[in-house]
Amino acid sequence: MAKQLKRAILQLLEKRHNIEVIAGESVFQLNSRAVIYLRYSKDHNGKYYFGITETDFKKYASNNFFILFICADENNVIVMPSNDLEKLIVDSKVASGQWKLNIFVENNKFYLRVSGKGKFDVTDYLNYYDFTPMEFRKGYIPKVKDFIPVKKPKETVEEKGKVKGILTLEDRLKTSLRDSENPDNFENALCEFFNEIGFKARKIGGPGDTDVLVEKPVSFIVDGKSTKSSSISRINFTRLKQHKKSHDADFILVVSVGFDPAVIRDAELEESSLVNVKTLLRLLEIHRNLPLSPHEYVAIFSKKGLISDEDLKPLEEKIQEIKLFLDNVLFIVENLDFKSKNIDVIRGGLDAKCELMKRPFISKKEIEEILKFLSSNIINIVEVKDSKYSLRYFPSQAAARFRSLLKLLYFQG
């Protein structure tokens, strides 16, 4: 049964991927993009037991590696990227060289139980056959949802309200926002936020001055208003304009939990900007996904009146454009070979493959841009001769080189 079901999964994947055997009947390579590890379990009264070999996991973890947990049949497959699974099983015990895991269904949700930790809701990963490298993912991405920990004995439960470990910047922004008795904490968190997203900022604070001064690449003052209420009902814009003038700043930005409609109207009249912390946290998420120039953030922060999540859409669209370009780079690499071809022949082959895979077509102009990019001295994946293009490596090696170059750039500091 295990062999039959693994074969059924592979036949499903073969409709969209070229599959190569790496190890036995469990480890396979899809095109040059991903390595998959098939694990199978029979139905044990609604529970499914799996073993993940530690050596295999570590061997392929850096190769866009996915584990497919086949729960008794081909319609119940949990498809997890190795980096997501690793977060769940880190520090858990290895028995006989394997992590012992089980998956079970409860209230129509799939849970993965990790011994000594608890259970994680992994329903989002059910039959989610997207093997695109994480850095090129676009659109919806599945996530681990609820975590229900193993109940600890009473004597080991921490005191109520006691915070364990170091709070993240996100947590400090959210908690200090409500701590109006200690405004310094909110100001410090705001200063760290602006420094992280690419500005040079310093906290000033104190009576008669701005809370945070952003100095480069442009200058603006940031006034943080921590409060226990749900919104701010009054802002002294006259005082803020004095701070702006004394620091020769370009504009004013006020940050809080929310703002009354009257305050928003006043901000528009006073040519000042307002933003709530929820929107800042969304921008921080976008930045950590792919950092953009602080000049692009300035265009948002300098908007008069209230800045909303809707104003962040141009940033998200830009990131999606970049991801699509990089995804097209890999797609073109996978569909070239050592034979020299002109641009029209290459485009014809790509159009046919796009139609077969039901993916968007790539314009001739973008194909030319990508081929020039791949033939540059640094990338050096494609060779150009007499206006014809060919790969310098096998497709899998070329794709691996491109991903390695991206990682080298990302981890250079």
Q: For the structural domain made of 169-307, what CATH number should be given?
A: 3.40.91.30
* Integer angstrom CA distances of residue 293 from 202, 206, 217, 307: 19, 30, 10, 18
Burial class (CB in 10 A: 0-12, 13-18, 19+), 389: buried
Angle between helices 313-334 and 395-410 (to 10 degrees): 150
Q: Which residue has the tokens 């109520």?
A: 160
172 by DSSP, 3-state: which? helix
In contact, 142 and 127? CB cutoff 8 Å? no
> Which H or E run contains 354?
helix 343-357
Structure tokens at 279: 């929107």
Q: How far apart are CA 178 and CA 39, in angstroms?
A: 47
CATH number among 1.10.3720.10, 1.10.10.10, 3.40.640.10, 2.130.10.10, domain 317-410 = 1.10.10.10
What DSSP string runs through 69-96? Answer: EEESSTT-EEEEEHHHHHHHHTT---BT
Please give the biggest Cα pair distance in the chain: 76
How much is the pLDDT for 269? 92
- What pLDDT is recorded for position 135? 63
β-pair partners for 202: 213
Helix (H, G, I), strand (E, B) or coil at 112: strand
26: nearest Cα among 126, 98, 93, 88: 98
| φ, ψ of residue 304 in degrees (nearest 5) | -80, 135
pLDDT (tens place) for every residue of the chain, 413 residues total: 778 888 888 888 887 778 888 887 889 988 767 899 999 999 888 899 998 988 888 888 877 899 999 998 888 999 999 988 988 887 788 888 888 899 999 888 999 998 778 889 999 999 888 888 776 665 567 888 777 876 654 444 444 444 444 578 888 888 888 877 888 888 888 999 999 888 998 988 777 778 889 999 999 989 888 888 888 888 898 999 999 899 999 999 998 888 899 989 998 998 999 999 899 989 888 888 778 889 999 999 999 999 988 989 888 888 888 888 888 888 888 888 889 999 999 999 999 988 888 888 999 999 999 999 888 888 888 899 988 999 888 887 877 787 777 666 544 44
| CA torsion through residues 103, 113, 58, 403, sign | positive
Cα separation, 122 vs 113, in Å, equals 10
The verdict on pTM exceeding 0.85 is no
pLDDT at 137: 61
> How many DSSP H helices and E strands does the chain contain?
13, 18
Q: Where are the domains of the chain?
A: 2-150, 169-307, 317-410
C-alpha to C-alpha distances, 87 to 49, 82, 144, 203, nearest whole angstrom: 19, 9, 10, 35
What region does 352 belong to: left with phi over 0, alpha with psi -120 to 50, or beta? alpha
| Burial profile 334-370: b = 16 or more Cβ within 10 angstroms, e = fewer | bbbeeeeeeeeebbeebeebbeeeeeeebeeeebeeb
pLDDT value, residue 111 = 93
Of 114, 115, 104, give the one whose Cα is nearest residue 43.
Answer: 104
Domain 2-150: give its CATH architecture.
3-Layer(aba) Sandwich (3.40)
Give the angle 137-143-145 at the CA atoms, nearest 5°.
170
The edge-to-edge listing of strands for the beta sheet with 273-276 is 200-203, 212-216, 220-224, 251-256, 273-276, 305-307
Q: What contacts 412, CB < 8 A, 6 or more positions away?
A: none
- Output the pLDDT for position 163: 41
The letter for the amino acid at 250 is D
Q: How many CB atoms lie within 10 A of CB 251?
A: 18
